[in-house]
Every structure is written in C-alpha cells, then in structure tokens.
Chains A and B, each alone.
Chain A
C-alpha cells in the first residue's frame, strides 16, 4: 500500500516538477512569477489531445504539443512581458501575466466549452508487478519521460553555451549583457524551454487522469508555483525536488489523513516549511545589499 502510494505520489509529483521548472527558470532570470504558465500547460494538454485525436502516435503528439507551446511561450513573452521589462515595477509585469492567463483560459473555453474532455485510449494499460507493488505501464512511461526531460535540462544548463548564458543571466542580467550575451534571446529561450516542459507535463497528466478542461491550468499552476517555492525559487534542482516531494506529500495526505482537505495539504506543508526555512529547501540564502 505505502509503496504504491509512493509511486502515485512520484507520478503526480513529476508533473508538478515539470511545470515548476518553467516557473523557476523564468523567475531565476527575470524575477517574474509567470502566472500564464499554468495556461501554457493547459494548452499543451489540449494540443496533445487534438494531435492524438487526429490519429498520431502519442510520442509524436507529445513532441508536437511541446513545440507548439514553445512558440506560444515565446509569443507571450514577446507580446506581454518584453514591453514592460526594465521600465516598470515587477508587480505590473505580474498583472500583465494574470491578464494573459485570463485571456488564454477564456480563449480555450470559448473554443472547446468549459466541460471536461476525455483523452482517447492511447496506451494499452498493462501493469507490472515488482514484488508486491503494482505499477502501471502509464506510470512507468510518465516517470521515465519526466526523468529524461529533467536530466536533459540539467545537461543543457550545465554543458551547453545557451545553458552557460542562462546561468550568467540568472546571476546578473546587466553584467551579462555587457559581456556580449544577447539577453533578450536568452530570456526568449528560457520561456521556450519552460513552456515545452509544461506542455509535456500537460499531455502526460491529461493521459494519466484521462481528463482535460480549460481551467485545469489554475490549480496546477498554483501547486507548481508552490513546488517551485518549496524547493527554493530560482533553483532548478530545487524545483524538481520540490515538485516530487509536494506530489508525494499530497498523495500521502489524501491516503492517510483526509481526502476532503486534498488541496489544503500541499499549501499547509509549504507554509510550515517556509516558516522554518524561509529560502526554501534548496534556495541560496542571499543577504540584501543597500
């Protein structure tokens, strides 16, 4: 029982982690809570659905959704955030993000209606037995794909030229631009990568829970933001650990405490952790300069 719940928690948690990565990467560079991120995740789930319904293989649909959301993320950044950058407080950028979020979810609601759509049967659901634990093939796929994406991201950030530029930008945007880094391009790329990861999360959650609806982005976005903060916002490994632990804690809370408080459990844990460790689990403690 416990181990099965742990697997369920990790599956849910890896979707939180994929969304949280987008929050944390964007935050690390431009200090913006990208509230439209949950809606990008929702668009990812829907685009995946449309491609599957058009008869494509699930992995191609996943890839298609990721590419679509990459473009959508870059478009949102270009239209709603870039004009504000540098000349306004962070709060106005936040309101702009909220505006985008309302716009995108309404757009999908107008197109598809507000009802839940079920995903077609894309994978034959067989299950494996590992000792006494039962694990479904779907869970295996979700865990493996998420792990691959996260490892890939980590390699990208540590080894490539773009990754190096992203790390530089997250330390000091102005100094990076003085060193000849095209800051706007790096920010654009960050949005693209974050959005692609969220889309992957969206498609997998859509298949796993067999449901997508236009307002699914809000709660998922909030939970993922909570995961990013839990791990220490701005820290990439933090977002992964935060997402996984939030998912596990939520499932455990539902299994052993009460299911009617499902949505409250994650937030209660988060608040407790932040009171004890204000910078999050993996966050760096920064001292403020005058």
Chain B
C-alpha cells in the first residue's frame, strides 16, 4: 500500500493528506469537549505535546514498539485530562478557557526545561513510523467510534449539557461525570494525534505546541460547525489546505487567513455545517430517494 502510494501520488500531496488525517484526530478530540459538550478548551496543544513527547521518548530511548508508544502517549494525555478535569470543570465558560490556556502554557514551559526532551532544542531523530495507511485507518476508527458515541445515551447527555446544563442536571444526568468523561476522551485523542505527529515529523520542539496551535485546532472545530463530525472534517480540510493554497499570496498568507476567519464567521456564524451529524445526512438523503 505504502509503496503503491509513494509511486503514484506526489510526496507533497501525500504529506498534506497525512496532516489532514492527524488534524482530524486532534479536532475530533476537541470537538467532543468544545463542540459537543460546550466546554471551551483553549489548550488542546498541551495534550498534543504530552502525547508527542511521551511517545517520542519511549520509542527513542526505550525502543518501545511504535503502537505501544503512541498508545502510552495517548493514555498519559488522557490521565492529565482526567486529573485536570476534576477540579476545573466546575468552573464555567471563560474561566475554564483561561485554565486550559494556563495548563497548556505550563506544559510548554515544562518541556522547555525538560532534560530528556532536549529542552528548547527539542527532540530530533524520532523514527518515522507514521504512514498514510496507519493514519487513515486510525481516522476511520475514530470517526466510527465518535459517531457511535454521539448516538448513544452518553452522547445525547453531552449535547444536553451543552444546550442547558441546569436542565440536563434536572433530567438526572450526572453533569460533572459526563464533562470529565468528555474531557478525558478528548485529551486521549489529542495525545494520540500528538504521538502520530511526532512520529511523522521526526523532529518536535516545545514551540510546535504553543498557544497558536491550540487556536488553530479550535478554529477547525468552530469553522466547520460545532458538534458535527462532517463539519469538523470539512473545517480541518479547509484550514489545513488554506495555508498551502494561500502560498500564492506569499507573505500576505497570514493576513488573508486572519481576514478569512472574520469573514467566514460573519457570513456563517454557526460554522459551515453547524450541528449536521452523519446520521442526519443519511436521513435527508434517504428521504430524497423515496421521493424520486
């Protein structure tokens, strides 16, 4: 499969496809926290860096097999998500946003001073194990599990928390438990994406996982449409391709990118596909077929 792709697809496009895959995993994680459950998290890159560094150090210094290393990274990120979730999820809205920003910054500064992580220089020479096939198999599994989760009892209670927390609580949903659950699973996906990223880039440094990275992932979720899997995927595709397509305008790239965010929000305030879910689409298409 890899050999076939390498022969027939331009390396540049393959690279972009792999980035799209990794970003989908990251964004679906944040979508679960922010899009579905409505808890604004602005520190997703922190979890990503935990996964990236853990898996990279495991496979470089301890010779851990690739899959074990990225799973270990994802689990560590999930553990941190859980530990941070418990005390902080009783904060609402923007206080939570601040705590997640702060947490991600603390992790970044920690890795800047972390000896085994190469301090500010970063880690280089991570084995390049992430391939197109592996990324996209994981993406498909994550999408399937996500849509199963959204349709389940747990998923519906998460949507209920976003719509109205007090009403959800009075319907017997244990809101704290659900929020911590969403936060943990979201961080797990963040760590997983980070591990894949590290093993694709073979070089990571703490600045890769700064505030702007968190914001980039948040943009993908909000732009595509909060709480929607197809929306998130479209958001990821647009925002991953945008910097590449905007290479035409060279140094004005970020200028256009910033303006684009404002304009898109003005014309599509709820995201491109706000709250469209895969099974809603199926229903809609199903009806059309009957009519015809």
Contacts and interface: CB of A to CB of B under 8 A. Distances in A.
Contact of B258 (A93, A102, A262, A280): A102
A280 B95 CA distance: 9
Interface of A: 27, 31, 33, 79-80, 83-84, 87-89, 91-96, 98-104, 106-107, 110, 218, 222, 225-226, 229, 233, 260-264, 267-268, 270-271, 274-275, 278-280, 288, 290
Given A222-B211, A278-B90, A290-B166, A267 B266 contact: no
B74 to A, nearest CB: 24
B223 to A, nearest CB: 7
Contacts of A83: 266
Given A27-B94, A226-B98, 11 more contacts: A88-B270, A91-B40, A94-B222, A95-B223, A96-B261, A99-B258, A106-B252, A225-B98, A267-B101, A270-B102, A290-B170
B255 A95 contact: no
B109 interface: yes
A102 to B, nearest CB: 3
B254 A102 contact: yes
A95 B222 contact: yes
A101 B258 contact: yes
A102 B261 contact: yes
- Smallest CB-CB A-B distances: 4 pairs: A99-B261, A88-B269, A103-B258, A267-B102
B110 A103 contact: no
B262 interface: yes
Contacts of A106: 252, 254-255, 258
Contacts of B223: 95
Interface in B92-113: 94-95, 97-99, 101-103, 105-106, 109-110, 112-113
Nearest to A262: B109
The number of chain B residues touching the other chain, given as a range, is 35 or more
Contacts of A267: 101-103, 105-106
A260 B112 CA distance: 8
Contact of B167 (A107, A270, A290): A290
Given A233-B94, A233-B95, A263-B109, A87 B262 contact: no
Contact of A103 (B212, B226, B259, B265): B259
25 contacts: A27-B94, A80-B266, A91-B222, A92-B222, A95-B218, A95-B223, A98-B218, A99-B262, A101-B258, A103-B258, A103-B259, A218-B212, A222-B211, A229-B95, A260-B109, A260-B112, A261-B109, A261-B113, A267-B101, A268-B106, A270-B98, A270-B102, A271-B88, A274-B95, A274-B98
B203 to A, nearest CB: 22
Contacts of A271: 88, 99, 102-103, 106
